[in-house]
């Protein structure tokens, strides 16, 4: 995209690879998720233990946070189509999370945790569309799956380190509040690295258009909205991760072990992200997202069975493949649908999928609490399977030009 910020230009004749700007943003995400995942796997035990909350409150926790983030993504996505706004939006989004996240440690009631988590997600809502638009803008189209896969892999690697840090702190006598408070350290490091990365980016000169190339046009109407709404349906039927962690506890997994299992999940996610992006570049996002949805349905249905701690952990780790197959492929599809107003496209995509999390969290939280974990898990698996069929019907194949 002309006018997008980028890193240094590749050497003439060099093999194309992940741009330096994407690598820098990936390092930022690594440190930020280090901080975030020191907190998240401890929240179910914190809310349902010292604060006396239940499964419904956990569903509200995820849903309200994601809904808040979703609303802001519409605005930040539109602003992100102005290249000079991208850096301030990204910086402000990360700084909000860095300052607010550790405050969860001082909460004395479940509703306060929900409030702090919502403000944390305000930062995510501000930064995500401009960051994804920047990644799409600096990466050649045939490599976007791998670029997003590289970024997601680094993000999940940070989650591994953060979860291990939380486990180490709890295992060595720190209470949950203290472990959460320590998340401020990697968060500040993420912000410092981001400031350095953005300062080194530069805007390339606008090159003359190739008269033989077809002009880039955003997809509109059904061509844009049908795939995005199908992705929203896939998000709606995915059981919230807080409830999946609660399912591990129901299966007998010790609270102190949950951060370790969460780290293992992100090991699988990190390891599968770049191969998943490569698969998206080869087969197209349509087939790759469908495969990820079917894997999720199978794993969640298996978690609904009567499993012991070892079986539940092994099955739960299979969910890591889902992120590898879907995250980079979904973003590559959005970039194809919105080659001109990329920020707007990512803003709408993230907003709709995020907004779906609140009703999903409330519905599945209520179902889990009222009818039990197995019922909620089977309902989620069935819903995702139906959403995969809808996705295959409405999404363009690798050979189709979605903006046509």
Q: For each of the chain's 404 residues, which pLDDT tens digit applies?
A: 333 444 444 443 344 578 888 999 999 999 999 998 888 777 777 777 677 666 667 666 666 777 777 788 888 988 888 878 888 899 999 998 888 888 887 777 766 777 777 788 888 889 999 999 888 888 888 888 899 999 999 998 998 898 888 888 888 877 778 888 888 899 999 999 898 888 877 544 333 444 444 456 665 678 889 999 999 999 999 988 878 888 888 888 887 788 788 888 889 998 999 999 999 988 889 999 999 999 999 999 999 888 888 998 999 999 999 998 999 899 989 988 888 888 888 889 988 887 787 788 788 888 988 888 889 999 999 999 999 999 999 988 765 555 54
d(CA 143, CA 183): 34
Q: How many CB atoms lie within 10 A of CB 31?
A: 25
Under DSSP, the state recorded for 31 is H
Q: How far is the CA of 145 from the CAs of 132, 334, 399, in angstroms? A: 12, 11, 16
Residue 256 burial (CB count, 10 A): 13
Domain topology for 20-202+218-394: Growth Hormone; Chain: A; (1.20.1250)
CA angle 183, 97, 71 (to 5 degrees): 145
Q: How far apart are CA 249 and CA 227, in angstroms?
A: 36
| Pairwise CA distance, residues 385 & 359, whole Å | 19
Question: What are the structural domain ranges in the chain?
Answer: 20-202+218-394
- Record the pTM: 0.76
Question: Rounded to an integer, what distance in angstroms lies between the CA atom of residue 334 and that of residue 327?
Answer: 11
CA of residue 178 relative to chain centroid, distance: 26
Cα–Cα dist 157/266, whole Å: 6
* Per-residue pLDDT at 28: 93
Using alpha carbons, list the distances in angstroms from residue 231 to 271, 304, 381, 397.
23, 24, 15, 15
Whole-number pLDDT of residue 290 = 95
Residue 59 confidence (pLDDT): 65
Paired tokens of 282: 């080869």
């Amino acid at each position: 995209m002309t006018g997008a910020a980028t890193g240094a230009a590749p050497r003439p004749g060099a093999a194309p690879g992940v741009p330096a700007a994407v690598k820098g943003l990936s390092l930022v995400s690594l440190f930020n998720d280090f901080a975030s995942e020191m907190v998240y796997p401890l929240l179910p035990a914190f809310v349902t233990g010292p604060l006396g909350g239940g499964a419904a409150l956990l569903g509200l926790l995820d849903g309200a946070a994601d809904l808040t983030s979703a609303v802001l993504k519409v605005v930040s996505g539109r602003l992100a189509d102005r290249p000079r706004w991208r850096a301030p939006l990204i910086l402000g989004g990360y700084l909000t999370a860095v300052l607010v996240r550790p405050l969860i440690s001082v909460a004395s009631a479940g509703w306060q945790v929900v409030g702090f988590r919502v403000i944390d997600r305000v930062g995510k809502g501000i930064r995500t569309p401009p960051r994804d638009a920047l990644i799409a803008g600096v990466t050649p189209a045939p490599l976007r799956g791998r670029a997003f896969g590289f970024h997601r892999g680094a993000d999940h690697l940070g989650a591994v380190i953060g979860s291990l840090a939380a486990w180490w702190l709890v295992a060595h006598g720190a209470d949950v509040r203290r472990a959460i408070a320590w998340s401020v350290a990697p968060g500040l490091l993420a912000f410092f690295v981001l400031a350095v990365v953005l300062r080194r980016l530069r805007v390339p000169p606008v090159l003359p258009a190739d008269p033989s190339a077809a002009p880039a046009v955003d997809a509109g109407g059904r061509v844009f909205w049908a795939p995005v709404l199908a992705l929203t349906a896939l998000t709606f039927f995915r059981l919230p991760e807080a409830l999946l962690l609660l399912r591990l506890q129901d299966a007998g997994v010790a609270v102190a072990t949950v951060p370790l299992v969460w780290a293992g999940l992100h090991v699988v996610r990190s390891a599968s992200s770049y191969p998943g992006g490569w698969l998206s570049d080869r087969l197209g996002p349509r087939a790759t997202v469908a495969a990820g949805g079917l894997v999720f349905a199978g794993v969640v249905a298996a978690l609904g069975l009567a499993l012991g701690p070892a079986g539940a952990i092994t099955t739960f780790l299979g969910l890591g493949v889902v992120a590898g197959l879907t995250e980079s492929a979904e973003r590559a599809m959005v970039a194809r649908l919105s080659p001109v107003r990329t920020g707007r496209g990512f803003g709408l995509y993230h907003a709709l999928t995020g907004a779906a999390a609140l009703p999903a969290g409330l519905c599945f939280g209520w179902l889990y609490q009222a009818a039990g974990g197995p019922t909620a898990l089977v309902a989620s698996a069935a819903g995702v399977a139906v959403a995969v069929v809808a996705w295959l019907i409405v999404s363009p194949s690798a050979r189709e030009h979605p903006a046509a």
